[in-house]
Amino acid sequence: MHHTHKEIELAERHTLSIIVDNEAGVLARVIGLFSGRGYNIEHLTVAPVDLQGTESRITVVTIGTPPVIEQIKAQLDRLVPVHRVGDLTESGPHVERELALIKIHCKGEQQQAALRIAEAFRAKIVDSSFESYIFEVTGKTDKIKAFIRLMEDVGLVEAVRTGVAALTRGAQAL
């Protein structure tokens, strides 16, 4: 999508929650809408959330000017298998978390540094060998990014992130 300078300045980050029928092709419909109309996807998570497995919840973090965000929601809402579209950024306080696995390769002093950082970030060791660790860390996107950045200096091998999962605060559902 073509962005003017003004559009980039006014762009906002929004976390959208989309309840969909858990049917074949539904994710392709949602992603296809974003790519076909030139919208951005920063994060995407999807999994069935009810016991019967009939409904899935998709969380999308997207960036756009307020009219574009409005359009994204309206376009999502008219997809046939979409039940509800919620804008968590707009609807008020909400909790956002993502999980990351980070593999590092290090020895000696670097190893001590890695463990100290991991402790500060409340990361768990989920795999270790003589010269490597895999850490599991959860938190907001900023925290995950900061953790990965620090690990680059002590021997980052690779990292994987789940993308954001989010819920509104309080007793209300979407």
Which residues form the interface with another protein (CB under 8 A)? 20-21, 24-25, 28-29, 32, 36, 67, 70-71, 74-75, 77-78, 80-83
Instruction: For residue 22, list its beta bridge partners.
Output: none
Q: Residue 83 or 169: which CB sits closer to another protein?
A: 83
Q: Residue 70 or 152: which CB sits closer to another protein?
A: 70
Shortest Cβ distance from residue 54 to another protein (Å)?
9
Q: Cα(161)–Cα(138) distance, rounded to whole angstroms? A: 9
Longest dimension (CA), the chain: 57
Shortest Cβ distance from residue 20 to another protein (Å)?
8
Contact by Cβ (8 Å): 39, 62: yes
Q: Cα(145)–Cα(160) distance, rounded to whole angstroms? A: 11
Q: Residue 27 or 113: which CB sits closer to another protein?
A: 27
∠ at Cα 82 (81, 83), nearest 5°? 115
Q: Residue 18 or 106: which CB sits closer to another protein?
A: 18
Shortest Cβ distance from residue 15 to another protein (Å)?
20
